[in-house]
Amino acid sequence: MHVLTAIISIIAVFIFGNWRNWKKYHATLIFFALGNLAYNFLTANYFLWRLDADFLSNHTMTEMSYTFIVFPATGLLFLDNYPEEVMKQIGHTLQWIFIYAVWEFVFNVTGDIEYQYGWTYWWSVAVLFVMFPILKLHVEHPLIAYVLFGVVAIVLIWWFEVPVHVPVEER
């Protein structure tokens, strides 16, 4: 499923997105990738959710495909097609939340994702309601987006008791 997701993302960005506009959103696409890398780094020994690897890959390569293919492609589609009218913006954001939620639901049903330590599908859906607005916010106000991302990350780390240890130097 994950290899298929990457392939569909690439095809979708070429059909529905203006991939020539990638430079306009470059910083935000890196921000999106950074969020996934931060999650994988901070929870390396305590994954709240984990994508099970496909037949062609392992966990690390699966996460790399999301970090560097799926998220930038879908981020570009979300941002480059963002409407001007407020009601259409709400509808557009809800559409992307729905797309991600359905895709993850399929992963959940097929066993391509596993949840641990109290994380559930519904937590993932709740995070989508924060993620997409923060992505859009990052385009115009990156510093505010970074602060909000940090606050959300700290709250989730605290709520789910993720053991983030700072190594002590040995003497």
114: phi then psi, degrees, rounded to nearest 5: -130, 145
Confidence of residue 167 (pLDDT cuts 50, 70, 90): low
> For 53-92, how does the pLDDT look when each residue is reduced to its tens digit (9 = 90+)?
877 678 889 999 999 999 999 999 999 999 999 999 999 9
pTM of the full predicted structure?
A: 0.89
Token pair of 117 as six digits: 């330590």
Which of residues 53 and 37 earns the better pLDDT score? 37
The H or E element containing residue 51 is: strand 49-51
Domain-located, residue 171: no
Question: Rounded distance, CA 162 to CA 151, Å?
Answer: 15
**87 domain-assigned:** yes
- The answer to whether residue 168 sits within a structural domain is no
pLDDT at 47: 93
Q: What total number of domains does the chain contain?
A: 1
Identify whether 109 is part of a domain: yes
**Range of the structural domain that residue 60 is part of:** 2-159
Mean pLDDT over 42-59 rounds to 86
**pLDDT above 70 as % of the chain:** 96
User: Is 170 among the domain residues?
Assistant: no
Query: Which of the four pLDDT bands, split at 50, 70 and 90, describes residue 170?
Result: low
pLDDT tens profile 136-157: 999 999 999 999 999 999 999 9
Domain membership flag for residue 121: yes
Measuring CA to CA, how many Å separate 31 from each of 11, 137, 159? 22, 11, 23
